[in-house]
Amino acid sequence: MTNAYEILSEVCEKYRIQSLLPLFDAVRNLQNQKNFINISVLGQFKAGKSSFINSLIGKSILPVASTPLTNVITTVQFGSTEKVFIFRHHHKEETEAENLEDYISEEKNPENIKELDKAIVESPGLSRIKRIKLTDTPGLGSVFKHNSKITADWLPNTGISLILISCTQPLSENDLNLIEETIRFGPEIVIILTKTDLVDEKDIEKLRSFMVSVLSEKFDRQFPIFEYSIKDKSYREDILKNLLIPLNNNFENKNVRILNYKLKSLRNQCLNYLDIAYQSGLRKKEGELKLKEKILDEKLNNPVIRKELDLIAQSYTSGTRERLKKYLFGKFKEKLTLKTKRVFSEEYFNWRGNLNQISRTYEAWFKEFISNELNIILKSERESIDEIPAEAKNHFEQYLQFFRERLDERILKVLGLKMKTEKWEINTKEILRPDISIGWAFESQIDLLWFLIPMSIFKKVFFRYFLKQIPWEVEKNLYRLSAELTKAVNDTIINTKEEAFRYIKDELLTIEKLLSNNNTDTESVGESIRLLESLEFMENGLSE
């Protein structure tokens, strides 16, 4: 008996098929897991994922908030006592439950600057489902795009997925895209319709019927749908009794099914690539020696693609600064200037000391005030700011799709093979942190003569002086903010371009190697194809 995973791994290594490595990692992780079944809790931003898991525990351990919160993959599982572990660079640390928010929340750990790999919560509240691990993922569709990336990177590890969809926004396009993406990686998807307390009871059935109709039409299959509200414990009992406890009691069989599903998916995708090598070999025997030139023509080569991607990137980066400056100045300059003047006028006459001391107080006050205001602007306008790299990302993904279609068309024309390719999506991480700076209160050295200037007489004079400075300081910091955002946005666009190019380069390299067929012959490729086709995934995940 030979392990199917090992056969697939050997075949892909032999033919250097690199694009399937994430799926191999997910299968290997699943093979190593024998005593638990992993259930991923997925959904859009604010669908109620953390609240849902807390209700299953019977205690508020995972932090919840009205803004995007979870930003680190967090697994909740049974433990005889309550414990919380964080993993940083593969090193395990224990912490108190009340400290969890400091590590996994966007507010306390923005963009995961603490560099956590994951967090694990053990709770006796899951005693009825001891064999289940619930994985809480960052919400999709929030303004924090790095959170969406974390969840997208996690998807290959999914087996059974609970997709939470809010009653207030049922089945958005993002929900349908998530379901479509999740189907690639796991055999079972369950829909949890959340926040049912916000919808009239008479409308719940209409919602269910609507969802069943849309999902059936879109995916040609039925998905179990459970209702849930944090305010009604009967929903919790229904989900435990009719979903989670049966999964817990049957976890071994479920794990085998998930493993087989992933192995079959790997097998089918390996065959897809091997068909190219095989047909390439047949054409060579027939005397067609220029397959690479026919498939990888002048439009499908790295220099041309690099130039086209550079032009797309440039079309976006060249206008970023002016677009941001126009947006920030138009919307905030006047309003921020008036607010700064008003607050300064309220604060100034409470300051005490000589001119030198008041100047330093002004600088410290202004820096703190403007930093807070610009951070408020960043948070409130982040979605608008993110539209710029999002537009570029969409353009690059359209280019990837166009490239894929051109390549598939060539393969079909030359080799007669219709490729069954996966959708390519680009994942990027954005870092938007302004560098706040102000100048000295006096550009001259007049405040060094503070001992000659009696503030009891001249305090109003310098109030007018400081007040006059404020518009310039506000403008200068808005310029600085737009410059920092321009760099961050353009860096994101360039990184997205490089990610797109990497996808294409790796695919071209794989296809080129398969077409070259230097290290094997058609007979050998045929044997590999027949070997994979003959694999029968039995109950233990092994194959003859």
Asked if 54 and 173 count as a contact pair (C-beta separation under 8 A), the reply is: no
Percentage of the chain with pLDDT > 90?
19
State the pLDDT confidence band at 382, using cuts at 50, 70 and 90. confident
Q: What is the pLDDT of residues 15-41, one digit of tens each?
A: 878 777 777 887 887 777 778 888 888
**The pLDDT of residue 433:** 52
Paired with 76 in beta bridges are 121, 134
Nearest to 419 by CA among 409, 433, 432: 409
Q: Mind listing the pLDDT tens digit for each residue in 305-327?
A: 889 999 999 999 999 999 999 99
User: At 397, is the pLDDT very low, low, confident or very high (cuts 50, 70, 90)?
Assistant: confident
pLDDT at 327: 92
In Å, the largest CA–CA distance within the chain is 101
The tally of CA atoms less than 13 A away on the side-chain side of residue 203 is: 10
What pLDDT was estimated at residue 32? 77
Q: Is the pLDDT of residue 178 over 70?
A: yes
| Residues 57-85 pLDDT 10s | 988 888 775 444 556 788 899 999 999 99
Residue 147 has pLDDT above 60, yes or no: no
Q: How far apart are CA 315 and CA 388, in angstroms?
A: 11
Element (DSSP H or E) covering residue 219: helix 201-219
Q: What pLDDT is attached to residue 437?
A: 53
Closest CA to 474 of 500, 506, 439, 445: 439
Output the pLDDT for position 3: 78
- CATH level 3 topology of 37-261: Rossmann fold (3.40.50)
DSSP state string for 319-343: THHHHHHHHHIIIIIHHHHHHHHHH
Percent of the chain at pLDDT > 70 equals 82
Over the stretch 525-544, which tens digit does the pLDDT of each residue have? Answer: 888 888 888 887 644 333 33
Which residue ranges make up each domain of the chain?
37-261, 302-530
pLDDT at 423: 61
Say yes or no to pLDDT of 378 above 90.
no
Across the range 88-116, mean pLDDT stands at 80
Burial of 455 (0-12, 13-18, 19+ CB in 10 A): middle
φ/ψ (deg, to 5) at 345: -65, -35
Count H helices, E strands: the chain? 17, 11
Quote the mean pLDDT of the chain.
80
pTM for the model: 0.58
Q: Report CA torsion sign: 267, 270, 272, 277.
A: negative
> Cα angle at 135 between 134 and 141, to 5 degrees?
135
Q: Which of 274, 186, 149, 233 has its CA nearest to residue 531?
A: 274
pLDDT, tens digit (0-9, with 9 covering 90-100), for 217-269: 988 888 999 999 888 888 999 999 999 999 999 888 888 888 888 888 888 88
The pLDDT assigned to 517 comes to 57
Higher pLDDT, 285 or 129: 129
Question: What's the confidence (pLDDT) of residue 299?
Answer: 61
pLDDT digits (tens, 9 = 90+) for 186-196: 788 999 998 88
User: What was the pLDDT predicted at 525?
Assistant: 84
* Contact by Cβ (8 Å): 61, 76: yes
* 274, 528 Cβ separation under 8 angstroms: yes
- Which H or E run includes 162? strand 160-166
pLDDT of residue 19: 73
Q: Given pLDDT bands bounded at 50, 70 and 90, which one contains residue 451?
A: very low
Least confident range of 8-12, 123-127, 169-173, 456-460: 456-460
Alpha-carbon distance 297 to 403, whole Å?
Answer: 12
Higher pLDDT among residues 383 and 204, named by residue = 204
